Chains A and B, each alone.
Chain A
Amino acid sequence: MSLLTILLAALVAGTPLLYAALGELVTERAGVLNMGVEGMMVTGAVVAFAVALATGNIWLGVLAAMIVGALLAFLFGVLAITLMANQVVVGLALTTFGIALGTYLGKPFVGTALVLPRGSAGGGLAQLPVVGPLFAAIHPLVWLSWVLFAGVWYFLARSRPGLVLRAVGESPSSAHAIGYPVARIRYLATIFGGAMAGVAGAYISTVYTSLWTEGLIAGRGWIAVALVVFATWRPERCLLGAYLFGGATMGQLFAQSAGVGLPSELMSALPYLATILVLVLISRDAALMRLSVPASLGKPFNAEG
């Protein structure tokens, strides 16, 4: 019983990481490094909360968060893709801006709880035999993240547009020479990443905690950025990593309540330690590095130059 509880909890805790990391993964595979995930998540969380509170509908909140996340990512695109500013700096600025914007917009909602009638979360799917209880126990946003994962995996590994996106990330000049609109593709990838960061924020504020307060996201955006590196830019490892990181937090809390002494601070640092370890491992091997890291990651592309 207890193991299943922990696994289910890890699933729920890993979901926002999965959304944000899959979005960021697509962005980075196009060669754009957007470190503003935390900021987009914070703003997304606030907007989703406000809209859900006003309309009583979580899905409208999620939609609003996607739009706001996409808008912030578009802003990033204008600065980093069109104006070719340093992506790291713009990303950090976006984080600061997103957090401040979220805090400002969220002021009237601090401490307010979103209490919605708890209908069957799984809807009609909960009526299915065998798997029904699973759908009843988890929120649709959890299993929608698996749909998203499947979509991203198929897109990158099997589809032609995905191939073009990867080409833009590996060698934008070649892609440009063949005639692909590098800037437009990068914009789309960045905006997708922003929308997914918005969903991740929305999930935390409307489904997970059902409230908004400052410090709600608490660094989960940064874990998502780290997760993409940990996953060496592969969606399937991203899925694994999200649940591993989610599970590390949950396992730690369960261990504490069961009386197993684990250094809880160390467990909280685990995602970052694991990411550094992966970086060290792949950096040691130049071939592995070339295979894993999108070659043009973080480099602006100038069609004229």
Chain B
Amino acid sequence: MNNISRRGFMKGAAATTLLAGTSLPVLAQGEKLRVGVIHMGAISDTGWEYFQAQAWRALQAEFPDQVEVTVLENIAQIQDGERLFRQLATQGHRLLFGTTFSHYASLRKLAPTLPNSHFECCAGIEAGDNLGVFEAKHHEGTYLTGIAAGRTTKSNILGWVGAFPVPQVIYSLNAFMLGARSVNPDVVLKVVWVNAWVDPAKERDAVAALVAQGADVISGSPNTPVQGLAAEEHGVWAIGSTGDFSAYVQRGQLVSFELDWSAAHIEAARAVLDGTWTPTARWRGLGPGGFVKMTTASPELPASVAAEMAAAEAAIVAGTLNPFAGPLKNQAGVEQVAAGTTMTEDEIKGMTWLVEGVQGTLPTG
């Protein structure tokens, strides 16, 4: 490999620049599209990694002959993920999926250096030249589960087990509160932060703490059935927020919704196959092709409440209902969003304040 002349190198570099400047290379006729997916955790039967896996499984099912998916799981270290993304790209994987926000920073750095690959990052923020991002409107799901919680609670105290006080969690719990208050103005929501994405023992303790404070419907963003199991043990309701745990939580789960990224995977692969792929930022909630899907509801949920939820869902899909439409007040009762206005997508994505009726503080620092 000593015959790389300076002229040859310059020609190659120029060609690469030219390619990156115009458009991504189109697949040759009959060539299989190789897709690479990297999971940070192990693929399980429920929770975040499961939803990611369901997406590429749907992709395989959609294009059994045209797409070949390589999956690497349990790549906990960001540095390893970065190296493996590069390796997959250089091995000829033309479409690469990042599965967490943690991959986003890596891909922002990597994508410009691998102009022949198409990158898509779940929970990413901004699209790049060859990097698309997609995220779910969690708040559309939690608004609906809030309706169920507001109708079901007897103590008028709801509980939320918070992982970390990041905007995505904050707007989820705010919408949960707004949904509950839309049907029951007396309800309050107590929040406990466990400062961990996964620490089942601590989540279980958090549920106990909330129940001791009188909460009788508990939500959060669990990755394991532990919150539901703990709630069931205490004889209160749990909500499968971003995870349907009805297989394990036999009586205690009131309602649930899941994240469905299939549309993002299938659309991206189809566009790459057609040569029409462009990097975009997608933020979708309920509805067809959306990323939020309502799933199992308890048989004990009254039909009238289910109908109320269905009506709200239809209104959200139709665009006539937005959980973050004014007037909205913060915890101190100060108006943050005026009547007649609605928070913009960027405002929701950057939300760092809690709505009126939420009891709890955001950890500072």
Report which A residues bind B (CB closer than 8 A).
2, 5-6, 9, 13, 103, 107, 110-113, 115, 118, 204, 208-211, 213-216, 218, 220, 249-250, 253-254, 256-259, 261, 263-265, 268
Judging by beta carbons under 8 Å apart, are B226 and A209 in contact?
yes
Residues of B contacting A216 with CB < 8 Å?
200-201
Judging by beta carbons under 8 Å apart, are A211 and B194 in contact?
no
Judging by beta carbons under 8 Å apart, are B224 and A257 in contact?
no
Judging by beta carbons under 8 Å apart, are A253 and B206 in contact?
yes
4 A-B pairs with least C-beta separation = A111-B44, A113-B248, A110-B44, A253-B209
Residues of B contacting A208 with CB < 8 Å?
201, 204
Asked if A263 meets B200 with Cβ closer than 8 Å, knowing A115-B248, A214-B42, the reply is no
Judging by beta carbons under 8 Å apart, are A264 and B44 in contact?
no
Residues of B contacting A268 with CB < 8 Å?
195
**Contact among B42, B159, B201 with A209 in the assembled complex (CB-CB below 8 Å):** B201
* A265 to B: closest C-beta gap in Å: 6
Judging by beta carbons under 8 Å apart, are A9 and B199 in contact?
no
Report which B residues bind A (CB closer than 8 A).
41-47, 50, 74, 159, 190-196, 198-202, 204-206, 208-210, 212-213, 215, 223-226, 229, 233, 245, 248-250, 359-361, 363-365
Instruction: For the complex, give the distance between the alpha carbons of A264 and B196 in Å.
Output: 11
Residues of A contacting B43 with CB < 8 Å?
110
CB-CB nearest in chain A for B214: A257
Residues of A contacting B208 with CB < 8 Å?
5, 9, 250, 253
Judging by beta carbons under 8 Å apart, are B200 and A111 in contact?
no
Instruction: For the complex, give the distance between the alpha carbons of A115 and B50 in Å.
Output: 21
Asked if A110 meets B205 with Cβ closer than 8 Å, knowing A213-B223, A214-B198, A265-B195, the reply is no
**Contact among A111, A209, A254, A261 with B209 in the assembled complex (CB-CB below 8 Å):** A254
Judging by beta carbons under 8 Å apart, are B202 and A253 in contact?
yes
Q: Which of A9, A215, A259 has the most CB of B within 10 A?
A: A215
* A58 to B: closest C-beta gap in Å: 15
Judging by beta carbons under 8 Å apart, are A253 and B205 in contact?
yes
Asked if A210 meets B205 with Cβ closer than 8 Å, knowing A111-B46, A115-B248, A264-B193, the reply is no
Judging by beta carbons under 8 Å apart, are A264 and B225 in contact?
no
* B55 to A: closest C-beta gap in Å: 17
Residues of B contacting A9 with CB < 8 Å?
205, 208-209
Judging by beta carbons under 8 Å apart, are B209 and A211 in contact?
no
Residues of A contacting B213 with CB < 8 Å?
254, 257-258
CB-CB nearest in chain A for B45: A111
Q: Which of A13, A218, A256 has the most CB of B within 10 A?
A: A256
CB-CB nearest in chain B for A9: B208
**Contact among A5, A213, A259, A263 with B224 in the assembled complex (CB-CB below 8 Å):** A213
Residues of A contacting B44 with CB < 8 Å?
110-111, 213
Judging by beta carbons under 8 Å apart, are A250 and B42 in contact?
no
Instruction: For the complex, give the distance between the alpha carbons of A240 and B110 in Å.
Output: 51
**Contact among A5, A111, A215 with B225 in the assembled complex (CB-CB below 8 Å):** A111
Residues of B contacting A258 with CB < 8 Å?
213
Residues of A contacting B206 with CB < 8 Å?
253, 257
Instruction: For the complex, give the distance between the alpha carbons of A65 and B70 in Å.
Output: 35
Judging by beta carbons under 8 Å apart, are B229 and A250 in contact?
no
CB-CB nearest in chain A for B196: A218
CB-CB nearest in chain B for A255: B209
